[in-house]
Amino acid sequence: MPELPEVETLRRELNKLLKLDSKTPVKFTAIEFKRADLRNKIPKAKLINLIGHNLYPIQRRAKYLLFPTSAGTLLNHLGMTGNWRELKDREDFKNHDHAVIEFNNKVKLVYNDPRRFGIIDFVIPQKENESLWLKHLGAEPLSKEFNAEYFFAKIKKRVAPIKNIIMDQKIVVGVGNIYASEVLFKCHIHPLHIANKLSFKKVIMLVDAINTILKKAIDSGGTTIKDFRTVGGEKGYFVQKLKVYGRKGSSCHRCHKPIQAKKISGRSTYWCPYCQKK
């Protein structure tokens, strides 16, 4: 489900719903887990200790959501199918609802994740960057750190297809399988182009395209192919703006030739064979 724009959309929605930007503190009043594990074993005792503590505004690092409190941080990754929604009064639980959090402002959040590739973990206060989940992550794509010089240096010795490289979270975070195809289409680069054979000029275009596409996707509330919903149940509308992903056989918006699809390193990849040359 979620790449950076979907996680960022969810983060903003959650902060808005919980009114975390206001002066009034928001406290955890109940935390409940309906199973012992997702992709990891859930450290229930440590997380239940957060009850009574104030929640600060929710942060994002890469595709991870961070719920910071003075007593530690609840870390969450959505995997492929994870999602948070508001549990309304008298609303029943659904299949695959795994965690419930209640706050003193009466808001109840439910974490649902059918495939259970998600993560819920506890991170020691002030030591977020030392967490095993976060410590090897590369640059945030919307930060100044992620520029053409940085990216060019990182790919200098990499002989893998560029598509794999822009999805490598050790280099740049947040780009997943959908946006990787979209970004490469935008700058006319073939997904199988070997990373270290890209010119610096192409790298400038690539860095710019990653920036632009992720920002536009955030502005559209993310991409809903199947599962992704905002906290209120809304779909993301960037799917209507996808140029190649999921469009096998349809005509290219630039040259009107059919879009091609193939698995690259096990992931479905879409591109225009005429607009994107190796």
Give the C-alpha separation, 143 to 51, whole Å.
33
Tokens of 111: 């974490």
Residue 223 contacts residue 239 (beta carbons within 8 Å): yes
Residue 191 in the binding site for DNA (CB under 7 A): no
Residue 236 in the binding site for DNA (CB under 7 A): yes
Per CB under 7 A, which region of 85-93, 160-168, 203-211, 212-220 contacts DNA? Answer: 160-168
209, 211, 216, 222: which is closest to 78 by C-alpha? Answer: 222
Active-site residue identified among 63, 85, 154, 243: 63
CA distances from 151 to 120, 184, 256 (A): 31, 15, 32
89, 101, 2, 87: which is closest to 42 by C-alpha? Answer: 101
Instruction: Give how far the C-alpha of residue 59 lies from the chain's centroid of Cα atoms, to the nearest Å.
Output: 12
Give the C-alpha separation, 181 to 270, whole Å.
6
| Residue 69 vs 76, nearer CB to DNA | 76
Q: Which residue type, as a one-letter code, is found at position 21? A: D
Select the residue interacting with DNA from 227, 243, 252, 275 (CB under 7 A).
Answer: 227
Residue 55 contacts residue 103 (beta carbons within 8 Å): yes
Residue 12 in the binding site for DNA (CB under 7 A): no
Per CB under 7 A, which region of 14-22, 110-118, 138-146, 200-208 contacts DNA? Answer: 110-118
Select the residue interacting with DNA from 46, 96, 188, 215 (CB under 7 A).
Answer: 96
Residue 195 in the binding site for DNA (CB under 7 A): yes
Active-site residue identified among 60, 115, 116, 267: 267
Residue 110 contacts residue 93 (beta carbons within 8 Å): yes
Select the residue interacting with DNA from 105, 133, 202, 234 (CB under 7 A).
Answer: 133
Residue 121 in the binding site for DNA (CB under 7 A): no
Residue 44 in the binding site for DNA (CB under 7 A): no
Known catalytic residue at 161: no
Distance of closest approach, residue 35 Cβ to DNA, in angstroms: 10
Known catalytic residue at 3: yes
Residue 67 contacts residue 61 (beta carbons within 8 Å): no
| Residue 95 vs 199, nearer CB to DNA | 95
Distance of closest approach, residue 221 Cβ to DNA, in angstroms: 11
Residue 98 in the binding site for DNA (CB under 7 A): no
Task: List the catalytic residues.
Answer: 2-3, 63, 267
